[in-house]
Structure formats: C-alpha cells, structure tokens
C-alpha cells in the first residue's frame, strides 16, 4: 500500500466531490421537451359522425395530420376512406382541436344464423354466409329474415333482429320446417 499525503488526499476528495456535483447538475439537463396537444379524430359519412371518436397526440405547433398517421384500428368497419393526404386541424364545435375524416359507406358481409332452441340450448339450423349489408344498418327486418329463411325454417318473433357488428353476425331464432 502506498503512502498518501494529507494534501493529496484532500485534493483527490475535492475532485471527486466536484464530479459528483457536476453529475447531479447535468442529470437535470435533457433535450428540450416537446409540447403536445390532443387532436380528436372524427369520422364523417353523409353528414353524420360514424364509429368511435379517438384522439391523436401531436406536436403543439402542428397544423395538419396525415391520413396515414391515423392508426388503422381507429377506422370504423364498413366504410372506405375518401379523405386523402393532410387534414387541417381545426376547432370543433366542442372547442377541441380535431380533424374530420370523410368516409363512404360500403357493403359488409354478415353471417346470418338461424337457430332453434331445444332443451334450453341454441342449435344452429341454417347458416347464410356473408350476406351483404351496409355498416349503418343496425338490424334486419322480419321481412328480410323470412326471405333469408326460405323454406328451411320459420322465423320466431317479429324482429327487428340486431346485427352484432363485432362478430359480423346476426342470430335469429327459428323453427325447422
């Protein structure tokens, strides 16, 4: 072990203290923080809002949002995008910053399942695969259900029958003919 003088010890301790203090000061330094704002994404079809309203976080000074920057899972099923390029960020009637995405409605395939209740259990008796309906349609009428059932079965109930858009399916109780 080497002998160290008191002077060398104090000099080394001072340098170490300075290094620790400098590290603490520098830790508070970082790249300039970017200010952001939330922009509401509103989907419009034929003058009405459709789908869920979601938000994007963008830079505070941003004035437009590219359609391609909107996540795919924000877009409602059953519509095609008409808007292209950059959308201007504007104040919405709610006072929020927002962009409006214009859509056109398209037909979406829906599976129509006719089932019969036997001993308290649903038993599928007829399946109409990928019948085309518009996404704005919430139900199937009794008349359409009867047409789709054909001679196979008789529809139970008067309808309308609700479309489950999360499964793209409508289930209709019926009795086998």
Residues contacting 21, CB < 8 A, separation 6+? none
Residue that is written with structure tokens 């459709």 in the block:
50
| Burial label, 165 (beta-carbon count in 10 A; 0-12, 13-18, 19+) | middle
Residues of the chain with pLDDT under 50: none
Q: What is the pLDDT of residue 39?
A: 96
| Distance, CA of 147 to CA of 170 (rounded, Å) | 14
Give the Å distances, CA to CA, from 2 to 5, 11, 15, 135. 10, 16, 20, 85
Q: What is the pLDDT of residue 53?
A: 85
Q: What is the pLDDT of residue 95?
A: 94
Is the whole model's pTM more than 0.75, yes or no?
A: no
Sheet containing strand 169-176, edge to edge, reads 121-134, 107-118, 169-176, 153-155
* Cβ neighbour number for residue 150 with a 10 Å cutoff: 11
Give the Å distances, CA to CA, from 123 to 34, 126, 136, 157, 159. 58, 9, 29, 17, 19
Q: What is the pLDDT of residue 23?
A: 54
Decide if 63 contacts 88 (C-beta within 8 A). yes
């Amino acid at each position: 072990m080497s002998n160290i003088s008191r002077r060398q010890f104090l000099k080394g301790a001072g340098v170490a203290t300075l290094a620790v203090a400098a590290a603490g000061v520098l830790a508070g330094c970082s790249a300039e923080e970017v200010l952001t704002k939330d922009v509401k994404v509103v989907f419009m079809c034929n003058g009405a809002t459709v789908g869920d309203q979601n938000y994007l976080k963008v830079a505070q000074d941003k004035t437009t949002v590219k359609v391609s920057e909107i996540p795919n899972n924000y877009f409602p099923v059953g519509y095609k995008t008409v808007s292209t390029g950059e959308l201007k960020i504007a104040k919405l009637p709610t006072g929020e910053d927002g962009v409006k995405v214009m859509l056109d409605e398209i037909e979406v395939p829906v599976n129509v399942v006719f089932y019969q209740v036997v001993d308290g259990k649903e038993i599928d008796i007829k399946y109409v695969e990928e019948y085309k309906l518009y996404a704005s349609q919430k139900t199937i009428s009794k008349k359409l259900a009867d047409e789709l059932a054909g001679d196979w079965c008789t529809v139970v109930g008067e309808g309308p029958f609700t479309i489950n858009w999360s499964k793209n399916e409508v289930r209709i109780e019926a009795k086998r003919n």
